Amino acid sequence: MGLRANPTYRQRRFGAEVRGIRERAGFTAIRAAQAMGMNASHISTVESGRTSLSPDRLRRLTSASGGEDATYVEGLIELGGESGKGWWTEYREQLRPSLLDLAELEDRAERIVCYEPMFIPGLFQTLVYATAGYRGGYALASPEQQEREIDFRMQRQRVLAGERSPQIHAVIHEAALHVSWGSPETMRDQLLRLIEVARMPNVTLQVLPFDGRVGFGTSFTLLEPAVPQLSTVVVEHVERALYLGEAEGLARYRNWFARLCEAALPPVVAATETEAFLVKNSLGLIQRLLYPLL
């Protein structure tokens, strides 16, 4: 099998984790190659994500290093052995690789947490809201390309109610609930959809109010698979999304999200007692904004 010309994020992440194991053990490429019974020149292609590594060789490396948790090793073997194929595969020649990477991460996540300061999270958007956002945005794309990306965003929402649906916890700044795209009806239907999604058993939704702690100006999403060490933070940027997987970055964003949760209003709950409306909470705030639009 030839070398990959354009490795996916998952493939690059696998290679980066192999490099981390080697470096933590203090192994040179030659020493690691000896432990795995392979040519030293092959190490760099594995660590760059351009080729894979068999489970047997990975286990031999971690056995020689002697310092890796067994659960982490098995999770890494699973990561490296995945095909990378899914519903997103049909978009491979049509969309930016970073979008496909995001869909693959969402598909294998057990928990997704996200913060949005200005927009409704993509997983919660209605078709009309998403279309208005693309049509009124700043990205220079043809109508055909916009249609493909809108369709892709709607397809991503299948993760909400799939067989292995992850737990999803979102904090949305109140500013995102005031942005009006297209028409009042667009925002009305979007707020109704937001309440509907927030009442799903695997979704937790909180609103960060204007009168609370100053929120971040940049959205981010933390995607956690079965092995938390293999999590990824996706930080949205006007130029391109940043994919972060190092331990320090993961810890930093987990801490920031915890602080946002503390500052946000109590979450929307499926069964809200009448007395609960006497307390300021996320559902009450969304409904207060919704009533004038009805």
Burial (0-12, 13-18, 19+ Cβ within 10 Å), 282: buried
Is residue 290 a contact partner of residue 192, using CB atoms and an 8 Å limit?
A: yes
- Domain membership of residue 264 (yes or no) is yes
pLDDT in tens, the chain (294 residues): 568 888 999 999 999 999 999 999 999 999 999 999 998 889 999 999 999 899 999 999 999 998 899 999 999 999 999 988 999 999 998 999 999 999 999 999 999 999 999 999 999 999 999 999 887 666 677 888 889 999 999 999 999 987 889 999 999 999 999 887 778 899 999 999 999 999 999 999 999 999 877 777 889 999 999 999 999 999 987 667 899 999 999 999 999 999 999 999 999 776 654 344 445 788 888 888 887 776
| Sign of the CA dihedral with 121 first, then 122, 124, and 128 last | positive
Domain match, 45 and 178 both: no
Distance CA(87)–CA(12), nearest Å, equals 21
- Domain membership of residue 266 (yes or no) is yes
- Domain membership of residue 24 (yes or no) is yes
Q: Is 240 helix (H, G, I), strand (E, B) or coil?
A: coil
Residue 233 to residues 115, 181, 244, 278: CA-CA distances in angstroms?
11, 28, 5, 36
- Domain membership of residue 87 (yes or no) is no
Domain carrying residue 73: 9-81
Q: How many domains does the chain have?
A: 2
Q: Is 179 helix (H, G, I), strand (E, B) or coil?
A: coil
- Domain membership of residue 86 (yes or no) is no
Q: How many helices (H) and strands (E) does the chain have?
A: 12, 6
The enclosing domain of 62 has a CATH number of: 1.10.260.40
- Domain membership of residue 88 (yes or no) is no
Burial (0-12, 13-18, 19+ Cβ within 10 Å), 67: exposed
Domain match, 60 and 113 both: no
Domain match, 106 and 210 both: yes
Strand order in the sheet with 220-224: 203-208, 167-173, 111-116, 220-224, 232-235, 242-244
List helix spans (H) across 3-96: 9-24, 29-36, 41-47, 55-65, 70-81
Predicted structure pTM score: 0.90
End position of a domain, from candidates 81, 113, 131: 81
End position of a domain, from candidates 29, 50, 81: 81
Distance CA(136)–CA(34), nearest Å, equals 57
Domain match, 117 and 70 both: no
Domain match, 32 and 122 both: no
- Domain membership of residue 3 (yes or no) is no
Domain match, 77 and 99 both: no
The enclosing domain of 258 has a CATH number of: 3.30.870.10
